[in-house]
Amino acid sequence: MENRTFLQAFLKNKMAMAGVLGVSIIVILGVLAPSIAPYPKGYGPEILLSPSAEHFFGTDGLGLDIFAQVVWGARTSLYVSMVAVAVSVLIGIPAGLISGYAKGYLGSLIDSIIDIFLTLPVLPLMIIIAAIVGSSITNVAVVIGLFSWPSLARVCRNSTMKVSEMQYIEAAKCSGISTAGILFKHILINIAGPVLVNLTLVMATSVLSESGLSFLGLGDPTVWSWGTILKKAWDAGAVIDTPNPWWWWFFTSFFIMIYVACFNFLGNGINEALNPKGREE
């Protein structure tokens, strides 16, 4: 009954549905990239052509189709987001559960570590580490995940502290259930909502981080990403040239904006559906 109420509230949220639609389109583009557009490589004879029926988003300074670049960039963005989320989950959820449930030195130690990571200057450190470990797309995604877990851990910790005080947790303790069983079978299930909301934010911010690192030249030059497209456009002077080949950077920027906005809409929709006040509306 509770799940049905949540689903009804979520489906009534127009912004959430817009987020689902946008995310679905980007996922389809990324998953079916080989069937939608050939991988852009080499050179082409049609340089800086404006958008047309033949080239939906025009061509760049090398004559490559920008629509194909954006499609394959969607695949890269999804990969980066999923790796970053996986790293965040592997570190952030156990850290949050333990710090919120454990009493004494262990809980305080993990909580202090979370606080330290939350106060770090993320972008400069991300740039330094990405430069040290190398610019492969997997390395970049892992680095992004390593700086994304503290926010997830904080949300998980706060929710765990509330749930751990409930009577059914005390009953589980009295039944002899292990600490790991209580954390992962009883508490984690009941804090899945806030955790899921935070993960949608990680999905969004990871693409912004990857685009920023690629724009600064720390991305993987062997794969197409939205940040790489923008860097190539900037290096070629396309952003400030007159006349301006606006299509080279506009469509990529638009897709980054849509990606981030849709995951934020999705997260807000989940949050509002979990909110009893939102349900009554």
**Contact yes or no for 193/274 (Cβ under 8 A):** yes
**Contact yes or no for 182/172 (Cβ under 8 A):** yes
The structure's pTM equals: 0.87
Give the HSE-up count for residue 4: Cα atoms under 13 Å, Cβ half-sphere.
1
Most confident of 5-9, 205-209, 274-278: 205-209
Q: What is the pLDDT of residue 279?
A: 46
Question: Please, what's the b/e burial string for 234-264 (b: 16 or more CB within 10 A of its CB; e: otherwise)?
Answer: eebebbeeeeebebbbbbbeebbebbbebbb
pLDDT tens, 86-98?
Answer: 999 999 999 999 9
Of the listed ranges 182-196, 210-224, 236-250, the least confidently predicted one is: 236-250
pLDDT tens, 200-214?
Answer: 999 999 999 999 888
Q: Higher-confidence residue: 219 or 24?
A: 24
pLDDT tens, 92-140?
Answer: 999 999 998 887 788 889 999 999 988 888 888 888 888 888 778 998 8
Of the listed ranges 152-161, 170-179, 219-228, the least confidently predicted one is: 170-179
Domains of the chain: 2-35+67-280 (1.10.3720.10)
**Contact yes or no for 4/11 (Cβ under 8 A):** no
Q: What is the pLDDT of residue 257?
A: 94
- Per-residue pLDDT band for 3 (boundaries 50, 70, 90) equals low
**Contact yes or no for 156/94 (Cβ under 8 A):** no
Whole-number percent of the chain with pLDDT over 70 = 95
Q: What is the pLDDT of residue 278?
A: 45
